[in-house]
Structure 1
Amino acid sequence: MNGSRAPVWDHVIDALLAGYHGEGAGEAYLARPAPGIAAYALSPHIQVEVIERLSVTSIAVLWQDATRCRYADQVWISCRARKKGRCALSGAVIRRDDFIYKPRVRSAVPANANAMILASAIARMPSLG
């Protein structure tokens, strides 16, 4: 060991610091999205897969977000969008009053509670339409 770090971790620390560009540069992920901006635009961290249609008004979704949460069999329900956003499945723009699916909220609010999927994207899926 040299100083307070074990030599085996030097390459990890160096790799982390290589992407550092100044004070506060690594804190952008902490900022909340501006009002009116979709909380779930397409992201390389999010994987969304519709597993099955449970009923006329509900679907089961696999939601994996490497930065926040993972839901293996999350129930999403149909409704109308209350605000504009982006479809987590297709990336298409969602306008207020579009038919969408959103995570069902029970006693505990899921981390992806603001996410939306356009109902038209679900209808275009051959096995679920």
Structure 2
Amino acid sequence: MSDLLGSPDLIPSVDSARWHRILNGFLHRTSPPSAKAAPVPAVEAAVRVVILERPSDSTVVVQWSSPVGCYYGEQIWRKAVARKSGYCVLTGKRIVRGDDVFKPQRTRRRICLNASAMIGASSLEAMTDIAS
């Protein structure tokens, strides 16, 4: 049996093989296709996003937590234009470069771990219309 850890001298235990399968499951997880949403990368699929308030048309306050240890209790996101394609963290819908989106506000002190995350402006508008 070949070694899962890459060293020919190391014989994998049952536990290391189990962890290897678990980690591979997270890294290569795919969700079944849906008519409503495109598949979302595994880490973003496990993220919990709560819209706390909408102070203005160009800002939203978000609570963000992810399984990789990233937590922001009250993070301000600002309206922007998507510089690259991706997925909405609220709905999983595809975002195309040039779409209106909300992104975490940059700070001078440090870059936030969810800096590449986006919320589609149309998804947020739809949620706001439902809540009203």
Distance in 2, Cα, partners of 1:16 & 1:73:
38
RMSD value over aligned CA atoms? 2.5
Unmatched segments (≥5 aa) in structure 2: 1-12, 28-39
Higher relative contact order, chain-length normalized (CA < 8 Å, sep 6+): 1
Is the CA contact (8 Å cut-off) linking 2:49 and 2:89 kept in structure 1? yes
Structure with the bigger percentage of helix:
2
1:120 aligned residue: 122
Say how many residue pairs are matched: 102
1:1-129 map, 5 Å: 17-20=17-20, 41=41, 43-107=44-108, 108-125=110-127, 126-127=130-131
What is the aligned-residue identity percentage? 29
Residue range with higher mean Cα deviation, 59-68 or 93-102: 59-68
The 4+ residue runs of structure 1 with deviation greater than 2 A are 13-21, 40-45
TM-score, structure 1 length as denominator? 0.68
Instruction: Give, in angstroms, the shift of residue 54 of structure 1.
Output: 1.4
Q: What TM-score does the superposition give when structure 2 sets the normalisation length?
A: 0.67
- Counterpart Cα distance in 2 of 1:14 and 1:121: 45
